[in-house]
Amino acid sequence: MRKRVTITIRGDVLSEVDKSINGLTIRSRSQAIEYMLSKNLEQYKVDSALILAGGKDIIENVHKCMVDVKGKPVLEHVISMLKGFGINNIVIYVDHRGEKVIEHFGDGNKYGVSIKYLIGDKPRGRALPLKLARPYFNKTFLVYYGDTLSKLDINDMARLHKDNRALATLALTTVSDPKRYGVVKLRGNRIIDFVEKPKESGSHLVSCGIFLAEPELLKYVSKKMYSPETDLFPKLSKRNLLLGYPYEGLWLNINDKQTLGQARNLWS
């Protein structure tokens, strides 16, 4: 459905708009403007994601990504959020109790997305899924930790990522106790240092467990790596290959009963 709007455009810009009117596929200024806007937005579109839903952490006798928040598993909230941004091609990595995830979500058709699975025999950290994911991604994709709820604007982060031609762009937030997370130091939008769970830190800026990546990032992942935070990001930050996207909205990392309670109170 189209809507009528009134806008003011500089004369030179309008002249460029008029040049795109060819009388065939584009017959009017309205069509020309719509076409140009669509093309501009398309270059920022991300339609694929890797969700990391492995690990052995259990809350209320279920895997933490499957624990109930407002009548749905955490992972279902995540998939719904991604679908809202047009991310319809999803790969989910599972290992411990992964059969419960596969049984619940199936091929994703019920949720309006396509889901494929990477299956690990046992928890081996978060670097292994990136290594296994190489055949599945040939363009910009999102990595999202399955125990995390957020209201992050993926499209806005994608603009920063693609405008700067970054190898990876990490969503960042501030926490009161940064010692539990990967702490980041920024210079402009560049991440110049990344330290996982430091004993002391002058920064309260941490990784959200959400990042955009180019397929080339996966070439940096080796068999010896355990997690991006401990083994990959610190090395890439030293080479100025990482961007940071500060985020101030709702972010909930559900890893124990306390954070689960917060999620149930705050999530909507």
Work out the average pLDDT over 168-184: 84
226: which 2 tokens? 């355990």
Whether residue 191 has pLDDT greater than 70: yes
217: which 2 tokens? 């990032």
Neighbouring-strand partners of residue 247: none
240 neighbors 169 (Cβ within 8 angstroms)? no
209: which 2 tokens? 């467990």
pLDDT value for 6 = 85
For strands 141-145 and 48-52, give the pairing.
Answer: parallel
Task: Report the percentage of the chain scoring pLDDT > 70.
Answer: 93
Name the residue type at position 53.
A
pLDDT value for 24 = 64
- Report the range of poorest mean pLDDT among 21-35, 52-66, 178-192: 21-35
36: which 2 tokens? 């140009």
Q: Comparing C-alpha atoms, which of 138, 130, 92, 145 is closest to residue 114?
A: 92
pLDDT bin (cut points 50, 70, 90) of residue 201 is low
- Phi, psi (rounded to 5 degrees) for 108: 90, -10
Q: How far apart are CA 171 and CA 186, in angstroms?
A: 12
pLDDT value for 29 = 85
Highest mean pLDDT among 33-37, 51-55, 162-166: 51-55
Global confidence as pTM: 0.85
247 neighbors 171 (Cβ within 8 angstroms)? yes
pLDDT value for 33 = 74
* Alpha-carbon dihedral sign for residues 259, 178, 212, 245: positive
Residue with more model confidence, 42 or 121: 121
Work out the average pLDDT over 236-262: 94
Work out the average pLDDT over 150-172: 95
169 neighbors 160 (Cβ within 8 angstroms)? yes
Average pLDDT, the chain: 90
Q: Comparing C-alpha atoms, which of 246, 238, 240 is closest to residue 167?
A: 240
Neighbouring-strand partners of residue 185: 193
pLDDT bin (cut points 50, 70, 90) of residue 55 is very high
